Structure 1
């Protein structure tokens, strides 16, 4: 008999609390994973900081978490591509509307995940390295390929068919940006990106042909010049404040679409408690005014600027193209690098609250990962799984 435990958030704004959780069961198209590593995302910190804003459908107590890697212990009745004992990485969907925010969320020892958003892991790949990827990869894929976003062509994903079109990615060193560079290149597009100077070599190693320092006051003009008259297929705007310069680039190059992965304000600039406060009022006034100004500039330049919802790929052909057709081979042959780097924290589930607090302080080119021990009763099921 296997027992489950989770890091619960019992009410909006509350600290996480580790205790017993129900054991998940696999739906028809699902797997149950014994989690060996999980990553902490800014999204988790934002949900904890914002209360019921954005994710108002959550009914507390719930479990947060999207990024998991581990070993399959149960397979749904209509799932044939995986078996007990497989090493996998997966995007946990519990926080999405209509899903189970307890058994399908990632901050726990056992989690139910969709097989369609799961990929096998090579034997040599460490769970903690793989856990950094799922949400970032899915958000990047949604921004690049979903028709409501940049709508890029993904038919040749992973087939090395180059095309003379450029994708500009503002924020290449972010977790979404690093995966977006690789996906865009894998689909044949040229990539220009921004990053601080210390990350330029890393961005080139991921596939960017040109990298510019976003601190440079002339960076927009430099990026426009670097396109050298080539078609700019779209701009992916990542990180706080990236929308405005991305729209400027679009207007100057004739690009018609900007897909944005971040709001124009930092949601951590408010107290983590219920009720009105001067900081919260100021935050949402800034959010409203900056969003309105950005949309006005977009409309004047005939640019469509839209916000990305990473889980959109679960309900479109993009999810299968990325997670099932592209990723297994790309991980096996090393053509898709696991990005960003993992910073592993000791302490298991009890370490997650501290990780969330660290995320609020800011991270660059790394993601916080918590590892979990092997679970009683799993080893004999997963013989040979590292």
Structure 2
């Protein structure tokens, strides 16, 4: 008997609140699995889509099901899937913008390439915090047309280069620091002072207060005698200081941006990251097949930011989105259990 499926969906552009309704149970195509969602996380994209609608993505189809991060149990495997079997506990990136692959539903389709098995002692709430964060981080760090860094390993060797990551306590920053350190890079990052120790615990060697009036000059000074591996500008408003730093240091002058680059100085290259591209190139397999399984099993990768469980059930998705939109949550990832 086919299970019944429900979702928290946007019935039309800018609709508020999301409506919980019955939706079709999905079918797994080639290379896909169906996962019964146990935990799903909230991301800025979820409230931006709700607020801006067609101004942000004119091509979205409605009713629209959001949600990029899920953890749960495999209930079905599609043709040519060898990586997973029914009953496996997994975490994955939805990476689609259609009803089949939105995480805010009980049953979701995932592409096996961007899913990882999780250890038995890892809670689903913890496992749902990282897929979009690590995917966005990895796209900027490893894709050949971005920073093209050395690949991560559970036993990295220092390579003598220094990477700047602006907004280290953010979800993307949290994952980017861990990946860069696992790739052998020294990491400089920024945060508010209350998150300095958090960033150092991820492996950053220096943390700067991004609200300091001298932050740009302080980072340029710290880079003296160092070789730049480039930078990742994550926080809104960080392009200008990051471009200034990178224009004045020795080494790679490429900046991966979590937003559209603007006013890029001469001699600096910059490009916007889109996490979904990870499913279309070698970086998806690099992260979800080669790095994460061993790193999770050996506790070399921390599932952070820590989950802040907002509630249980699809009816709590809207409240969780509203909490994220309020900007009152720092160094935590809002999740809802299903």
Same fold (TM over 0.5): yes
* Unpaired stretches in structure 2, ≥5 consecutive residues: none
Q: CA deviation at 1:53?
A: 2.2
* Unpaired stretches in structure 1, ≥5 consecutive residues: 96-100, 264-290, 373-386
Which residue number corresponds to residue 3 of structure 1? 4
- Superposed counterparts of 1:21-100, under 5 Å: 21-95=23-97
Helix, strand or coil at the partner of 2:101: coil
Alpha-carbon separation, structure 2, partners of 1:53 and 1:135 = 22
Q: Does residue 164 of structure 1 match 2:128?
A: no
- Superposed counterparts of 1:289-328, under 5 Å: 292=262, 294-295=263-264, 298=265, 300=266, 302-328=267-293
Q: CA deviation at 1:347?
A: 3.8
- TM-score (normalizing by structure 1): 0.84
Alpha-carbon separation, structure 1, partners of 2:64 and 2:210 = 38
- Residue number among 117, 123, 126 corresponding to 1:126 in the alignment: 123
Q: CA deviation at 1:179?
A: 0.2
Q: Does residue 350 of structure 1 match 2:319?
A: no
- Structure showing greater Rg: 1
Helix, strand or coil at the partner of 2:247: helix
Helix, strand or coil at the partner of 1:74: strand
Helix, strand or coil at the partner of 2:61: coil
The number of equivalent residue pairs is 334
Q: CA deviation at 1:74?
A: 0.3
- TM-score (normalizing by structure 2): 0.96
Which residue number corresponds to residue 214 of structure 2? 218
Alpha-carbon separation, structure 2, partners of 1:117 and 1:258 = 25
Q: CA deviation at 1:221?
A: 1.4
Q: CA deviation at 1:192?
A: 0.6
Helix, strand or coil at the partner of 1:62: coil
After TM superposition, where is structure 1 displaced by more than 4 Å over at least 4 residues in a row?
Answer: none
Q: CA deviation at 1:259?
A: 0.9
Which residue number corresponds to residue 334 of structure 1? 299
Alpha-carbon separation, structure 2, partners of 1:351 and 1:148 = 39
Q: CA deviation at 1:93?
A: 1.9
Deviations 1:10-39 (A, max 9, x none): 111002100101111211101100000000
Alpha-carbon separation, structure 1, partners of 2:55 and 2:181 = 35
Q: CA deviation at 1:228?
A: 2.7
Which residue number corresponds to residue 98 of structure 1? none
Helix, strand or coil at the partner of 1:152: coil
Q: CA deviation at 1:371?
A: 0.3
Q: CA deviation at 1:165?
A: 0.3
Q: Does residue 257 of structure 1 match 2:254?
A: yes
Alpha-carbon separation, structure 2, partners of 1:150 and 1:54 = 26
Helix, strand or coil at the partner of 2:308: strand
